[in-house]
Amino acid sequence: MVERYWEALRGVKDPEIPVLDIVEMGMVLSVEEEGERVRVTFRPTFSGCPALRLIREEIQKALEAAGAKAVEVVEARTPWTTEAMAAEAKEKLRAYGIAPPLPLPMASGDPPCPRCGSQEVALKNAFGATLCKSLYQCQACGEVFEAFKAV
């Protein structure tokens, strides 16, 4: 039965990157069921993320819609890492125009342009429109793009 709740959580999108859901982001650590009570343990991505409150509400709503009578959302201390992102999630990011996070050992390098794949990119700003992204410009095709920070 717990599978049904996992499925429901796939409907909860990251409000700042609406192509990704919180399960493929690696934010959900566990879903436990006790009768009609459901307990979700999740970890936030960036600690100052303003979307956190909204995500909690969305989790609550999604699980209630899936039949849960009581929902408990527990915030875990385990630090989130971009290594927890599913491979498909990274591909979705690229298709959406955001350079996916590089694997951690390469985190000090620059990501290739999500549009043309060129490695010739210049960092414009380590801080983007949201806490999780940096701003780059591709030197080859001229595209200005956001890149997900590897953490």
Partner 1 sequence: MLEAYLKDALVARLTALADDEVILAQRLSEWVGHAPILEEDIAIANLAQDELGHAKIWLELRQELDGADPDRLVYFRDPLEFQNAVLVELPKGDWAFTMVRQYLFDAYENLWLKEATQSAYPPLAEAAARILKEERFHLRHSALWVERLGQGTEESHRRAQAALETLFPYARQLFQPLPEEEALVEAGVVPAPKALEGPYLEEVTAHLERSGLTPPKGGYVPKSRQEHTEYLWSLLAEMQSVARWDPEAKAW
Among 34, 35, 77, 105, binds partner 1 (CB under 8 A): 77
Smallest separation (angstroms) from partner 1 to the CB of 55: 14
Q: Smallest Cα–Cα separation from 62: which of 33, 35, 78, 40?
A: 40
Region near partner 1 per CB under 8 A, out of 4-12, 65-73, 74-82, 86-94: 74-82
Smallest separation (angstroms) from partner 1 to the CB of 123: 10
CA distance 110 to 142: 16
Measured from the CB atom, the residue of 1 and 126 that comes closer to partner 1 is 126
Measured from the CB atom, the residue of 40 and 49 that comes closer to partner 1 is 49
CA distance 50 to 110: 26
- Going through 15-143 in order, the beta strands assigned E by DSSP cover 17-21, 28-34, 37-42, 70-75, 98-99, 121-125, 133-138
* Binding of residue 48 to partner 1 (CB under 8 A): yes
Region near partner 1 per CB under 8 A, out of 29-37, 75-83, 84-92, 114-122: 75-83
CA distance 24 to 21: 6
DSSP lists the bridge partners of residue 71 as 38
Smallest separation (angstroms) from partner 1 to the CB of 16: 12
Give the amino acid at 60.
Answer: Q
Measured from the CB atom, the residue of 131 and 140 that comes closer to partner 1 is 131
CA distance 71 to 62: 10
* Binding of residue 73 to partner 1 (CB under 8 A): no
Binding site for partner 1 (CB under 8 A): 46-50, 77-81, 124-129, 131, 134-135, 149, 151
